[in-house]
Chains A and B, each alone.
Chain A
Amino acid sequence: MNEILQQLTEASGVAGDEKEVRLLIRDLIEGHVDEWQVDTMGNLLAVKRGSGASEMRVLVDAHMDEVGLIVTEIDSDGTLKFLPVGGISPRTLLGKVVKVGRKGLTGVIGARPIHLLKASQRDSIVKTESMRIDIGAKKKEDATKKVKVGDKATFATRYEENGATAMGKAFDDRAGCAVLIELLRGEPYPFDLHAAFTVQEEVGLRGATVAAYATKPDVALVLECTPAYDLPNERDVSPNVMLGQGPAVYVMDRVTIQDPRLVRHIMRTAEKNEIPFQIRQPGGGGTNTAVIQRATTGIPAATIATPARYVHAPTGMINLDDFNNVIRLADATLRTLDASLFERT
């Protein structure tokens, strides 16, 4: 069992409320980094000193936050109204167990029993605004003792492994966080490695915006988790990536053309080290690379991701070989980084 993935994915860290994850990561990297600090947004910024062989400043980013729910009102019957934080479809919410607030109070999202539904209701989506979280409270006063408006909720999903398959929530982007933790736990790089565990990616790439400004790196690598659409479908959706085919290397997404020099270096490194990889099909999506690349006067940046099925959902799935190969590829890419890669001739 990969205990780091287990701890990270079972922790709650809805965008804007990442403290549990931040504290956990602090514990996991302490002793492996030379300094760390938390900025005003909640980003956890750590430095792992290099051997001194290179003067480059290198930023590696992984976001701590996940999509989730926020309590907006406590109803007279003691149930909780809520809204999604980040992209969560109402299709994913019915019949799920959630953990509410910092203390992780258990709640469930039920719905009208099928026996009492009209035929038209059976084929219509229940709107998030009409759903409620039920914590077992009998009335409002009962609930207000335990929950406050503004409390966040996440899915109460346990991490499980079955061979090379891992199932759990929030692989987006705790998988990236786990990769970054492994890099920090390894041997020093030629340069100082600036690790940024960032906040609020899911609500507009906000944490990385200030982390990139504060760090002012020469180059940045973003560690992500990207959706795999490798499911049977009559209509060819040309999946972006497939599980089990190795790390996904971004070239272009909805908002960013990744730095081509860095992308080329990543692919060559993979080939040289015989690490399987796949080029993420250009198209939709977006990562912290978007804001890092235009920070200050511009920063060469690219993204390597672990593919995951069913992101932004109660339970996702990754392939652990892919995950381990992201660690290998990120590590090898960083060890051979050289300023000459980025010289304009």
Chain B
Amino acid sequence: MELQRTLQKLIETAGPSGLETAIAEAVTTIWEPFVDTIERDRVGNLVAVKRATDSVESERPRPRLLLAAHMDEIALMVKEIVSYPKDEGYGFLRVTNVGGVDVRHLYGQRVTVHGADELPGIIGALPVRMMPDERRGKPYNYDELLVDVGLPLDEVRTLVSVGDFVSFHQPLRELLNERVAGKALDNRASVAAVAVCLEYLAGRQHSWDVVAVATAQEETRLLGAFTSAHAQRPDAAIAIDVTFGKGPGAKEGNVFELGDGPALGLGPNVHPGIFKALKKAADALEMKVHTDPHSRASGTDAYGLQIARAGVPTGLIGIPLRYMHTMVETVSVDDIQRAGRLMGEFVARLDADFLEEIAKEMMEA
């Protein structure tokens, strides 16, 4: 698997939260060679199972590890069709956000409108000097920005409905030092890392079943994490998501250099035993990892996975990423590779006693 090409395919495919059909197909193509089964579930998650590969005779079912990487991305949705002059001329779309979009990045973006056809469009607005005085000195807002598909009103009305998704269009861009930029690297970087993990496991025996889930609707309310963890009944889980990369606008606090290795989440959403096991796997690989503490909610699928059914011991791996939730998110391809290998090594080291060990540790004085 050529990682950068895999990543390119993943980020250049549209997958707004709630419209994950196309991205699920792309992920299927990438994961399928490494797994035993792969299918979509009732909320749109893509669930792939790679069964244990060791030669030990033991009774099924084996313990199950769930790996969750969300495949949805932040996007926009059509809220109104407007025109100028009224009821004639070109048709334009007013939009609202799906997930945490920073509206200040929207002007001038190239988008795709997912209507009856996929329509190319750009986001524009009138110059600020033509807006009411109180808007001067303020960024554009959703009442001012418009998606322009360059079509007359009647055609727009035929092709587009209120409620249609609008995704960002941005090809993968190569920067220096194995870094790449584009949209939806949150969280396709992790989807690619899961592919690296599965490929790694093709060369390693593992005694647990691995359930890799490309979750849906993480960006809106972690829907896929809650539901897949319930449906799959995992014995342990790892969420893999992006974390804050150190760079312009994020120089202090818990931010991590790009290319310096993954960051392991530690806080209420993470089971200390899983954290330790991930550390051990990193040590075995002689891989540098960082600790990424969270004080309340991790803002990732780990939050949902942890409280499924009677609770699931959960870990969190973060891939440092600059400019999160913009169309120029930037990551180091090396970090994705490392995060994937780390997950693979963690899986390969899981044994029949693992759950008992981490449970025991909870009561050790």
Using CB atoms and an 8 Å cutoff, list the residues of chain A in contact with chain B.
Answer: 77, 79, 89, 91-92, 94-97, 105-117, 122-126, 131-132, 134-138, 142, 146, 155-157, 160, 162-165, 167, 227, 229-233, 235, 237, 239, 242-244, 309-310, 313-317, 319
Residue B322 lies at the interface, judged by CB distance under 8 Å to chain A: yes
CB-defined contacts of B101 to chain A, threshold 8 Å: 114
Known: A115-B325, A167-B110, A235-B130. A135 touches B92 (CB 8 A): no
CB-defined contacts of B90 to chain A, threshold 8 Å: 230, 243-244
- Interchain nearest-CB distance for A147 vs B (Å): 10
Q: Compute how far the CA of A124 lies from the CA of B102 in the bound complex, rounded to whole angstroms.
A: 11
Using CB atoms and an 8 Å cutoff, list the residues of chain B in contact with chain A.
Answer: 82-84, 86, 89-90, 92, 100-110, 119-120, 122, 124-128, 130-132, 137-140, 146, 148-151, 170, 173-177, 179, 181, 244, 247-250, 259, 299, 322-330
- Interchain nearest-CB distance for B172 vs A (Å): 10
Q: Compute how far the CA of A209 lies from the CA of B316 in the bound complex, rounded to whole angstroms.
A: 63
Asked if B173 and A108 sit within 8 Å, CB to CB, the answer is yes
Query: Which of A94, A162, A239, A319 is in CB contact (< 8 Å) with B326?
Result: A94
Query: Which of B107, B128, B151, B322 is in CB contact (< 8 Å) with A313?
Result: B107
Q: Compute how far the CA of A97 lies from the CA of B103 in the bound complex, rounded to whole angstroms.
A: 17
Query: Which of A107, A131, A138, A162 is in CB contact (< 8 Å) with B119?
Result: A162
CB-defined contacts of B120 to chain A, threshold 8 Å: 160, 162, 167
Asked if B122 and A231 sit within 8 Å, CB to CB, the answer is no
CB-defined contacts of A108 to chain B, threshold 8 Å: 173, 175, 181, 323, 328, 330
Asked if A94 and B105 sit within 8 Å, CB to CB, the answer is yes
CB-defined contacts of A92 to chain B, threshold 8 Å: 107-108
Asked if B324 and A134 sit within 8 Å, CB to CB, the answer is no
Instruction: List the 4 closest A-B pairs by CB distance, nearest first.
Output: A136-B175, A110-B323, A165-B150, A112-B249
CB-defined contacts of A162 to chain B, threshold 8 Å: 119-120, 149-150
Asked if A235 and B132 sit within 8 Å, CB to CB, the answer is yes
Asked if B122 and A310 sit within 8 Å, CB to CB, the answer is yes
Query: Which of B89, B175, B327 is in CB contact (< 8 Å) with A134?
Result: B175
The chain A residue with its CB closest to the CB of B139 is A125
- Interchain nearest-CB distance for B158 vs A (Å): 14
Asked if B124 and A231 sit within 8 Å, CB to CB, the answer is yes
CB-defined contacts of A157 to chain B, threshold 8 Å: 110
Given contact pairs A109-B328, A123-B138, enumerate 19 new A-B contacts (beta carbons under 8 Å): A79-B248, A91-B104, A91-B107, A108-B175, A108-B181, A110-B248, A111-B102, A113-B325, A115-B100, A115-B325, A134-B330, A137-B176, A167-B120, A231-B84, A232-B82, A232-B84, A233-B84, A235-B130, A313-B124
The chain A residue with its CB closest to the CB of B109 is A95
Asked if A232 and B104 sit within 8 Å, CB to CB, the answer is no
- Interchain nearest-CB distance for B41 vs A (Å): 28
The chain B residue with its CB closest to the CB of A116 is B250
Asked if A309 and B173 sit within 8 Å, CB to CB, the answer is no
Asked if A115 and B324 sit within 8 Å, CB to CB, the answer is yes
Asked if B330 and A136 sit within 8 Å, CB to CB, the answer is yes
